[in-house]
A and B are shown apart, each in its own frame.
Chain A
Amino acid sequence: MSDMAIATNPEQQRALERFYFREARLLDNRQYQQWLALVTEDIQYRLPARVNVQVDNRERGTEQMLSVERELEGADSMGCPIREENYIHLMLRVERAFKINSWSENPPARTRRIVGNVELMHRSGERHTVLSNFHLYYSRPGSASFLYSGQRRDVLLAANTDDFRLQQREVILDYADIDLPTLGLFF
């Protein structure tokens, strides 16, 4: 994958942003069933663990020394990602959200997310590889408020330019120590 985003025309960029902004609005409005309709049934939803790694002396002075990838225990690793989910997991989470005994979200958290830095990195037929960043404000009654920050590495499928479906999402959270109440949100 090239380091540069594809030089999309304004219509293409706008179509991607329309998808992401609507997705953010559905999630902040807790319209999780509508959100679930935006993902494909073969979705892979992943959240790698992020660890503090040893500096490799041989990589001193190179970009590789500081690379984010070295800190991730992802799906291909023999470590343990925090989440590796499929459609069934996401469906369970959506169903749970609408039960009155999902206590950690009852009363529900107030969230607001800003999605930006939307970059189309690669396109091959229907398959769009897209990067985006988010800040997610999270507040619950009787609790402190929290800021989640991260990058999303998505694969979107689109039959037409305006009909995206989420097929893969890898969420790179910017935590060092996890002092957040849950990493079980839809990011």
Chain B
Amino acid sequence: MNYRVSDLVNDDASLISRRCWTDADVYGLEKKGIFGRAWLFLGHESQIREPGDFVQAYMCETPVILSRGQDMQIYANINSCSHRGLPVCRADHGNTKRFICPYHNWSYAVDGALVSIPQESAVRNKPDKSQLGLKRVPRVESWRGLVFGSFDPDIIPLETYLGDMRFYLDAFIDRFPQGIEFMGSPHRWQLDANWKLPVENQLGDVNHGAFLHSAIIPREAQDLIEELGYSVVTAPGHGATFRLMPVDAPIDEIAWGMEGMGGMFGGAEVQDYLREVQTTAMERVGPIRARMKGLTYGVYPNLSFLWSNASFKVSHPRGPGKVEYWSWAVVPADAPDAIKQVLRTNYSSFFGPGGILEQEDSEVWVQQFRGSNIDFADDRPYYYGLGLGEEKPHAELPGLVSVTANEFYARHFFARWRDELLAVEGQL
């Protein structure tokens, strides 16, 4: 490797090297030190309700099948046949009794166990099928329906890993009487960008809104974010931004969903539903969180949640210079189908591969990779020092808290990133 990890990110993470974004060896260390060890988001339980249900997922570049076994347990297995390595599942989602490899028809139960080898009857020494199932992701846990997997069998429990992010995630998930569900298949699209920039963008960067998106977002909306906005880091790499609305704010200004296209133009039935949710939110999430109107969320390393345009997103690396971005529309589980169909447009109008706002984000993520992947500028690392040291604990909000212009969310991310790469630096 041409660079030392300690040279890529300085001690207070206010200077970030261009090579963090472009170098193939750095990416190799990320796979080993981060994606091989962290809890990675796989999907939501609402996608696999019935025995035999499955959806595709990825852990970094490794394809994974997330499924509900006949025993109703959740399983995650690597989508690669034990015989010659082909993917045994080719559909994005579905329901099945068996995953069958096309090459020699080795077949697997939905929990990953190898069920049959067609050629076995013709040989004398029978393979031990119990040792030849799909490779199971060693740890799978879920919290509030969100399913994560880890390749590290010794990783801390998921709830401990999420820590105080649960306080902020629950402000959304528990807001609804029956929590949330994901609608349909994820939108997935590929960009010539590094995976970390979409993550950083959704971790706390609401500071680009009035500038990059000024063709759509009025300055007044940004003023309101600056006036009522908080940025929080609950642990390095985990963060949230939100507005804390005044106690006497009108319900239509607080209620989740009202500021989206579906909420605005979906009709009285949709708006009455959203008001009803908000009216009873305090019973479920308490007074502070009932006033929260979220913006962006990030869970280390690559899960994002966009409250205002209800979607969960994962930034899947495909090399240092390519990312496959996944996003799902998220809706309240208890809402009638017709209302869910309206509320999904709160996401798709502005975000996703056809979104009016996201096309600008995609553009800058690609341009940032281009700007990083240049020569003769390695003595000019990127400046990440805005608001350095200005974050503080808060009486009612867990974590470190600051104004949204403070880039501490990104510094904490890169401090953790540096530590995790340092731990494996000699192993490449």
Contact = CB atoms under 8 A, between A and B. Distances in A.
Interface of A: 47, 49, 51-55, 73, 75, 77-86, 88-89, 92-93, 96, 99, 101-104, 142-143, 177-184
A52 B185 CA distance: 10
Given A49-B185, A178-B189, A178-B190, 5 more contacts: A49-B187, A53-B92, A80-B183, A88-B261, A92-B356
Interface stretch (B104-112, B157-165, B342-350): B342-350
Nearest to A85: B349
A89 B354 CA distance: 11
Given A85-B349, A101-B214, A78 B337 contact: yes
Contacts of B93: 51, 54
Nearest to A143: B366
B359 A86 contact: no
B139 interface: no
B307 interface: no
B123 interface: no
Given A102-B215, A104-B363, A82 B91 contact: no
Nearest to B342: A84
B212 A80 contact: no
A180 B189 contact: yes
A142 B353 CA distance: 20
Interface string B61-102: 000000000000000000000000000001111111000000
B92 to A, nearest CB: 5
Contacts of A77: 184
B58 to A, nearest CB: 13
A184 B359 contact: yes
A162 to B, nearest CB: 32
Nearest to A50: B185
A77 B215 CA distance: 32
B260 to A, nearest CB: 12
A82 B348 contact: yes
Contacts of A79: 183-185
A101 B216 CA distance: 9
A103 B212 contact: yes
A82 B329 contact: no
Nearest to B330: A80
Given A51-B185, A54-B91, A103-B360, A82 B353 contact: yes
Contacts of A180: 189, 353
A89 B341 CA distance: 17
B183 A102 contact: no
Contacts of B275: none
Given A73-B184, A183-B354, A184-B355, A78 B348 contact: no
Given A78-B183, A101-B214, A177-B188, A51 B92 contact: yes
B363 A103 contact: yes
25 contacts: A51-B92, A53-B91, A54-B91, A54-B95, A55-B91, A78-B184, A78-B340, A80-B187, A80-B328, A82-B187, A82-B354, A83-B348, A92-B356, A102-B215, A103-B212, A103-B215, A103-B364, A104-B360, A143-B366, A177-B189, A178-B189, A178-B353, A181-B359, A181-B362, A182-B362
B284 interface: no
Interface of B: 90-96, 183-185, 187-190, 212, 214-216, 261, 265, 328-329, 337, 340-341, 344-345, 347-349, 352-356, 359-360, 362-364, 366, 370
Nearest to B95: A54
A104 B354 contact: no
Contacts of B356: 89, 92-93, 96, 184
Most buried by B among A47, A55, A80: A80
Contacts of B92: 51-53
Contacts of A184: 353-356, 359
A182 B354 contact: yes
B185 A73 contact: yes
B345 A84 contact: yes
Given A51-B93, A54-B91, A179-B189, A80 B353 contact: no
A119 B203 CA distance: 49
B363 A84 contact: no
B322 to A, nearest CB: 10
Given A80-B328, A80-B348, A83-B354, A101 B184 contact: no
Nearest to B361: A104
Contacts of B364: 103
Contact of B190 (A82, A88, A104, A177): A177
Given A52-B91, A52-B92, A103-B364, A80 B185 contact: yes
A144 to B, nearest CB: 9
